[in-house]
Structures are given as C-alpha cells and as structure tokens.
Amino acid sequence: MEISDKRAEIAVIGLGNAGLPLAAVIADRGMAVLGVDINEERCWQINQGANPIPEEKGLGELIAQHGGRSLIATTDFEDARGCKSFIVIVPLLVDESNHPDFSIMEKALQSLGRILKKGDLVVLETTFPPGTTSGRVRRLLCESSGLAEGEFFLAYSPERIMTGYSISRLREFPKVIGGTDEESGLVAYQLYRQFISNLHLVSSASVAEMTKVMEGCYRDVNIALANELYKICQDLGVDFFEAREMACHQFCHIHLPSTGVGGHCIPVYPWFLIKEMERREAFDKCRLLHTSRIINDDMIHYWAERILLQCLRINKPLSDIKICIKGITFRAGVREFYHSRNLALAKLLCDRGLNVYVADPLLDESEVAARGFRSINPDEADLVFDPFQLSFEPGRASQD
C-alpha cells in the first residue's frame, strides 16, 4: 500500500506482540498512527484490517476498525518522516552468554536517526538495562541524526503488558514514564496521557528502566522459591498446592511451580543486572538473582527424572514407551517459543534417547515437525505429561 496519509504525528517502530497492541490502542483514542515494521506480510495484513496476532484478546476488533485507516503500517522509515513523536518497541534479546544483544535495536535507531528532526520526541518501550536510554540510545540517535543532545526529546516508558491480555493491560494497568531530562519527561508524559489512563511520571529514564527490570527479577526469584518448595514437598510427602493455598495471604504470596521460566521477559531481565554486576566485579551483589536463574533453568532436569520414573512403572521396554508432552510453547495459549522450558524439556528427553512425541493444541503437525518432533494423539501415548498443569496421565497405549 502506498502511504499517502500525512495526518499521522505518531509513529510506532515495531509492530510485534507489544508494538501492535499499543499502536491499536493509540488509534482507538482517535489519533492517527503510522506503524513501521520490517515484516511486509504483517504490514499488509494490518492495512487490510486483518489481525496477525489472533490470540490477543480484543486486538482483532481494533485492527478491523482502524487498520488501513487511522492505523497504517509500512516497512519504509521514510514514510514516518513527517511524524513528530516516535515510540520504539523492537526486541532486545540475549546472546548465548546471556549478554544483551542490541543489534536489532541499533538498526532501528540508525534508521530512525536518519529522519529525526529538531524538536521531535523519541520514547523507548523495549526493556533495557538501566542507563541504556540516556547512554547507548541517546548516543546512537545523535550519531545517526547529526543532532546534538537537547535538540530532541528522549524518554523511556517500559511496556507492562502480558501476551493475550495486552489491550486490557494498556488500558488499565499502571504505566511509568521518565525522561533523560526533566523537559523530555514532561513532553513524553503529555503525549502518553492522551492514550494511557493510569500513567505515572518518574524522575528519570533510568528509574523507569529499573522499574521494569525489578518486576522481572521479583517474578523470577519467587518462581525459583516456588520450584524449590515444590521439590521439597515432593520429598516430604506434603501436598504443595494445599499448603500453598493456606500460606498465601496479604503478607505472603507463593508463586506456582513450573518447568522453568520462559518468554521474552522474566528469564531475560535478571541477566541485565547480573552481567552489569559481573562487569563491575561486584559478584556478591547478584547472588540471589544468579541462583534463581540456575534453579529455574534446571527444572527441566527435575521433570525429566520424574518422567523417567513414571516410564519405569509401565510394563514395556523403555525404548518402546511413547511419551507425549502436552504443549511446547512457553505459556499456555501463546504461540511463542522464546526460552520455552517446555520445548527444552522435550529436547532433553529426546537427547536421553526416549521416545518423545508432542500434542499441542496451538500447533498443527507441520509446526510440530518444524520443531523437530512427531505429533501424537494423547490417547495413543503410553504416558502424557502436561507441563502447564504439572500432571501425568496414563495413555491408552500403556493399558493395551
């Protein structure tokens, strides 16, 4: 689609699971939005009024209403040259050593810098290590735009959505925003309050960055605690879930145990602080965060042993037992695999020579095969393990 509508003053850079819901919510508040993304197919769908993220509740209605109208998608940064405000929300991943990988972000910022003008506002929403917006981001934008510090406004407002519930979180959940200087914070706050109802201005971009990282660390540490307590309860013969129900009250909230922690958020953010403390040789300041990461990642080994013990109770040669893993995405109802511990568990079992199959309601046989597994009807398996319920079921094949 040729972009001819010059009304848009806001550009959202990155139309993924976080950027597209944000762009749709902005459009729904009566503001013209230009979305920029490298995915041509996604841009075409949006402009046709089709929702490329069907599992996101409420997004389909907004795209049908605003796609190709007040929300236009493009792959060309030049189409956003007339915009005055830019919201950047592209992925920040970690490499094999768990160091932040800024390569995608740097490309986006370099492209943005080429169209950035004096007096424009840039707000980052990607979760960063604290200090990134005022440091690396500002430096890249200055270098690519030729503008000096202070000639454009720069702020940070971390996305606080949950995949599948992004629209309601954007409309209801508290959101923070902070500038690299006082004026940038105020300018960004005035923009965001037009489409975010529960908005809080903080003293700096670094405080806003740390707010989001803290949340991820809190979740990771508390899930690690739940996983430890679950394993202890198993050894002691105690019903963990009954004990947890009685232990949880206004002063105590025990999280649920799991096969580990997956997704783009919780297993990633603690590493931002761990790696920074390691760089400073302050190893004693990140012990809890580091231990929690180890505990949660090692849960696949715990569950592999539990699955093996269940297999030994079946009156068949181990190599003949069909094991069904009932879901390999990182979370139920979400078609995402990033850091999926369920996928990692299935691979671990295969590596140990077990006969592993997959049944995932979100995936067809070709999608399962693309991940290196065979599909199976759970009824045809000897043992079914549901990683979301942490439950075992005997399959009909084991009863034959």
Q: Dihedrals φ, ψ of 72, to 5°?
A: -120, 135
Calpha distance 56→61 (Å, rounded): 10
199 forms beta bridges with: 175
Q: Which of 149, 169, 203 is the last residue of a domain?
A: 203
CA distance 237 to 239: 7
d(CA 38, CA 75): 5
Q: Whose CA is closest to 53, among 3, 86, 15?
A: 15
Integer Cα distance of 124 and 158 in angstroms:
7
Nearby residues of 400 by Cβ (< 8 Å), 6 or more positions away? none
One-letter identity of residue 63: I
* 66 shares a domain with 166: yes
- Whether 5 is in a domain gets the answer no
Contacts of 226 (CB under 8 A, 6+ apart): 244, 254, 255, 256, 257, 258
Can you give the pLDDT at residue 359? 96
- The answer to whether residues 335 and 284 belong to one domain is no
Residues 93-96: contacts with CB under 8 Å, at least 24 apart = 93/264, 93/268, 94/268, 94/271
378 and 235 inside one domain = no
Domain match, 24 and 98 both: yes
Task: Quote the pLDDT of residue 398.
Answer: 64
| 176 and 159 in a common domain | yes
Tell me: do 246 and 138 sit in the same domain.
no
Give the helix/strand (H/E) hosting 142: helix 138-145
Catalytic residue among 83, 142, 175, 212: 212
Which of these is catalytic: 265, 286, 311, 324?
Answer: 265
Spatial distance between the Cα atoms of 163 and 155, rounded to a whole number of angstroms: 24
Choosing from 297, 330, 357, the residue where a domain stops is: 297
- Per residue, the 3-state secondary structure of 328-381, as one string, reads CCCECCECCCCCCHHHHHHHHHHHCCCEEEECCCCCCHHHHHHCCCEECCHHHC
Q: What angle do CA 26, 156, 56 make, to 5 degrees?
A: 40
The domain of 135 spans 10-203
Enumerate residues 6+ apart whose C-beta is below 8 A from 45. Answer: 51, 52, 67
Same domain for 138 and 230, yes or no, is no
pLDDT at 3: 44
Spatial separation of the C-alpha atoms in residues 193 and 322, rounded to whole Å: 55
Residue 4 lies in a domain: no
Residues 269, 259, single domain; the answer is: yes
Q: What is the pLDDT of residue 397?
A: 67
161, 160, 154, 110: which is closest to 132 by C-alpha? 154
Q: 210: which residues sit within 8 A by CB, 6+ positions away?
A: 130
On whether residue 1 sits in a domain, the answer given is no
| pLDDT attached to residue 4 | 43
Q: Are residues 45 and 189 in the same domain?
A: yes
Number of domains in the chain: 3
pLDDT of 8 reads 80
Q: Where are the beta strands (DSSP E) in 79-186?
A: 85-88, 93-94, 100-101, 121-124, 153-156, 175-179
* Residues of the chain where predicted confidence (pLDDT) is lower than 50: 1-5
Is 3 part of any domain?
no
- For residue 180, the domain's CATH number is 3.40.50.720
36 and 88 in a common domain:
yes
pTM beyond 0.75: the answer is yes
Residue 212 annotated in active site: yes
Q: Provide the token pair at 148.
A: 């000096």
Whether residue 357 is contained in a domain is answered as yes
322 vs 194: CA distance, rounded Å = 55
CB neighbour list of residue 54: distance below 8 Å, 6 or more residues apart: 60
Q: Are residues 282 and 370 in the same domain?
A: no
